[in-house]
Amino acid sequence: MSAAKLRLINLALAHLGEGAVSSLEDDPRPPKLTKALAQYDAVLDAALQRAPWLCAVESRTLALITPPAEGWRDWRYSSRYQLPGEYLKLWWVDGAHTFAWQAGTDLDGNGAVRRYVRAEGSEALNVDMAVRRPAEALTPLLFMAVSLDLAAHLAGPIQQADGRALLERARLAYEQAEGAEVTEIGGQAPPFAGGPLEAARRSAP
């Protein structure tokens, strides 16, 4: 059982005035826990895609995918680069000012989803991307923002209530979490549009 996942869910429930659950493996499982678990992964993934959080961004070198015998049947892009299973969002592609690229999805021969970058090129591709992280990896401020976000998504299913006020609190918490990351970046220009440095500039008096 993930202790951080349990804490995050219980914090979301507390935002709603609901009591805590003792375990993610409760049997029988309380209805509110079932509803929280149904929303949890999607809310966390969306949060990690929201900004280039330092806890979730990795610099990777993507390898070319060997094309099938008949080629990619893609008149626009000649090459494809494999994205890892934990991939969530691309933030930067090396050399992107000199060639076109885009993220894509298809199914392999077994019907499994395959994520890739389509581009013009024949060399390995350097990228910065957001990847899936567990709750343990979140900073305290981001942890709080995600808990408010989860609570907003649970307001309807658990209490038949409107979650818009919680969503606004979550938005402000995300901005605070972005601004706090400014002190964790040094010696470089802001690496990503919409990242923590830009957020800090927006919030400066």
Q: Going residue by residue through the chain (205 aa), what tens digit of pLDDT does each one get?
A: 589 999 999 999 999 999 999 999 988 899 999 999 999 999 999 999 999 999 999 999 999 988 888 888 888 888 999 999 999 999 988 876 678 889 998 887 788 888 999 988 778 899 999 999 999 999 999 999 999 999 999 999 988 888 999 999 999 999 999 888 877 776 665 555 555 545 444 444 4
199 and 178 in contact (C-beta within 8 Å)? yes
